[in-house]
Amino acid sequence: MRYRSAAVALACAASLLTRFGPARALRIRDEAGRPLATIAVPATFTLSFMHSVNLSRVDEEFSVGGGLTLERVLFDQLSTGMPSGDEDGFCVVDGRFETRPGRRFDEIAVRVSPIPGHELRVDGRVRPLTYWAPTGNMVRFSASRESD
């Protein structure tokens, strides 16, 4: 009985730490691994870019939690390099194509494009990737906790 009480207490403590502990965050580093920023992410963040072939916007929405999960991709045109099958739940939502890959990454490395529209969106705030690195350089995104 004593062990059962201890197990219940530990489960409650773990639940409280998860709920009231440090918030989910996105860590941004340069290509050498030096920290550039840590940004609180309430639910999801979006990396946007202009597709190099059809020159239309692509939005990749990620969630944070034990890594980064690519939850959905929104885009305007079908072309070379864009998803076109139903392997990721291909559909049309509000006039845009959508897939739901559900792919998990420990880190995402992105080369900063000179084309406008290469940006990070978190909770209504928009920042071009050139805010952290010059064109041609790389930024690395990974999951974190705000207290890390």
| DSSP for 6-39, written as a single string | HHHHHHHHHHHHHHHSSPEEEEEEETT--EEEEE
Torsion from C-alpha of 55, 116, 98, 101, nearest 10 degrees: 110
Residues of the chain with pLDDT under 70: 1-22, 80-87, 146-148
pLDDT score for 78: 74
pTM of the predicted structure, to 2 decimals:
0.78
For residue 58, the SS3 value is: strand
End-to-end CA distance of the chain: 37
pLDDT score for 14: 43
pLDDT score for 67: 94
pLDDT score for 11: 46
CA neighbor of 46 nearest in space, from 107, 94, 118:
118
